[in-house]
């Protein structure tokens, strides 16, 4: 009964895992395949082999420019993430290293700010944005995205920071390190994986946010979620075109996610676990 893995076990695990993985991935895969079909093909029944037309992508691009919403999505998601991190890192740090009796309550309260349904506050927020001249501005939407994701960012950072052993701090203090030295040389290296994975997670959340990003923008600040809204449910079924537009909208973040997958996992391993 030694715990050595036989090839047979490995093959079984491989088959099982790939089956599950492919089932979960299937809707995305099928969307990508459909985007290379013609419209009649798209509704002609199940088929994994498209005729390989690029027509849909060309049509989508001529109907609606992709570059500007794409740039907006990048600016908004990255900008709001950086802003959120600047605000959240010190806060989470303080909560993790100088916890008080109320720290837990403060954290829960922060999360509870997300409980108000967005639809219910649309009109008040819209009025505020109008008065401040923030409608259809990147700055306005960046602030919005920062605020709605801030609680999650603080929460995640807090759980990471808390895993950093306190003894290291004490040891470095004994060595006479000042607070800033402590932060720069001891804590930062340990915190970076956690910050990086928080950052990635938040970019994903901001990229996919599709209530405010449509409601508060018109032309200048409209990101890819608005791009999608101009292809969903048109008159007539245009699934191939919709698939092409969908693929274009999710591809950048999907690719980022795939490449940074290890980073994401490493960060999560570091915190949130034990």
Partner 1 sequence: MATQNTKTLARLMMAPSVLLLLVWMVVPLAMTLWFSFQNYNLLDPSNVGFAGTFNYEFFYTDPAFFQSIWNTLVLVLGVLFITVTGGIAIGLLLDQPMFGQGIVRILVISPFFVMPPVAALVWKNMIMHPGYGVFADIARFFGLQPIDWFAQYPLFSIIIIVAWQWLPFATLILLTALQSLDSEQKEAAEMDGANFFNRFIYLVMPHLARSITVVVLIQTIFLLGVYAEILVTTNGGPGYASTNIAFLIYRTALLGYDVGGASAGGIIAVILANIVAFFLMRAVGKNLDR
Partner 2 sequence: MTLKTILLSACSAMMLAGVSAGGASAEALTIATVNNGDMVRMQSLSSEFTKANPDIQLNWVTLEENVLRERVTTDIATKGGQYDILTIGNYEVPIWAKQGWLLELNKLGDNYDANDLLPAIRGGLTVKDKLYAAPFYGESAMIMYRKDLLDKAGLKMPESPTWAFIGDAARKMTDRSAGINGICLRGKAGWGENMAFITALVNSYGGRWFDEKWAPQFDQPEWKDGLTFYANLMKDAGPSGASSNGFNENLTLFQQGKCGMWMDATVAASFVSDPKNSTVADKVGYAIFPSKEGVNNHGNWLWSWNLAVPASSKKADSAQKFISWATSKDYIKLVQSKEGWAAVPPGTRTSLYNNEEYKKAAAFATPTLAAMQAADITKPSVKPVPYTGGQFVAIPEFQAIGTNVGQLFSAVIAGQSTVDDALAQAQTATAREMKRAGYPKK
* Positions 168 through 227 that interact with partner 1 (CB under 8 A): 170, 179, 204, 207-208, 210-211, 224-225
Q: Does residue number 101 form part of the binding site for partner 1 (CB under 8 A)? A: no
Q: Does residue number 184 form part of the binding site for partner 2 (CB under 8 A)? A: no
Q: Does residue number 94 form part of the binding site for partner 1 (CB under 8 A)? A: yes
Q: Does residue number 263 form part of the binding site for partner 2 (CB under 8 A)? A: yes
Q: Which of 4, 7, 98, 235 binds partner 2 (CB under 8 A)?
A: 235
With respect to partner 1, which residue has the nearer C-beta, 92 or 138?
92
Q: Does residue number 236 form part of the binding site for partner 1 (CB under 8 A)? A: no
Q: Does residue number 230 form part of the binding site for partner 1 (CB under 8 A)? A: no
Q: Does residue number 189 form part of the binding site for partner 2 (CB under 8 A)? A: no
Q: Does residue number 135 form part of the binding site for partner 2 (CB under 8 A)? A: yes
Q: Does residue number 51 form part of the binding site for partner 2 (CB under 8 A)? A: no
How many residues touch partner 1 under the rule CB under 8 A: the total is 95
Contact between residue 161 and residue 134 where contact means Cβ atoms under 8 Å apart: no
């Amino acid at each position: 009964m030694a715990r050595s893995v036989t090839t047979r076990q490995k093959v079984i695990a491989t088959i099982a895992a790939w089956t599950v993985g492919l089932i979960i991935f299937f809707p995305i895969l099928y969307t990508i395949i459909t985007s290379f079909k013609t419209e009649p093909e798209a509704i002609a029944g199940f088929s994994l082999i498209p005729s390989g037309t690029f027509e849909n992508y060309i049509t989508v691009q001529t109907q609606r420019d992709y570059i500007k919403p794409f740039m907006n999505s990048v600016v908004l998601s990255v900008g709001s993430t950086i802003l959120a991190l600047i605000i959240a890192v010190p806060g989470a740090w303080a909560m993790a290293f100088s916890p008080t009796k109320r720290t837990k309550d403060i954290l829960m309260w922060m999360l509870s700010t997300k409980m108000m349904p967005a639809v219910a506050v649309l009109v008040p927020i819209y009025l505020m944005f109008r008065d401040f001249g923030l409608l259809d501005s990147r700055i306005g939407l960046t602030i919005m995205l920062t605020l709605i994701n801030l609680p999650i960012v603080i929460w995640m950072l807090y759980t990471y920071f808390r895993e950093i052993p306190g003894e290291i701090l004490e040891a470095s203090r004994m060595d006479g390190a000042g607070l800033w030295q402590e932060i720069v040389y001891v804590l930062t290296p340990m915190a970076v994986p956690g910050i990086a994975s928080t950052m990635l997670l938040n970019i994903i959340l901001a990229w996919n946010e599709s209530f405010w990003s449509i409601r508060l923008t018109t032309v200048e600040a409209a990101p890819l979620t608005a791009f999608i809204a101009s292809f969903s449910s048109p008159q007539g079924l245009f699934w191939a075109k919709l698939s092409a537009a969908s693929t274009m909208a999710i591809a950048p973040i999907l690719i980022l996610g795939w490449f940074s997958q290890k980073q994401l996992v490493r960060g999560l391993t570091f915190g949130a676990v034990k």
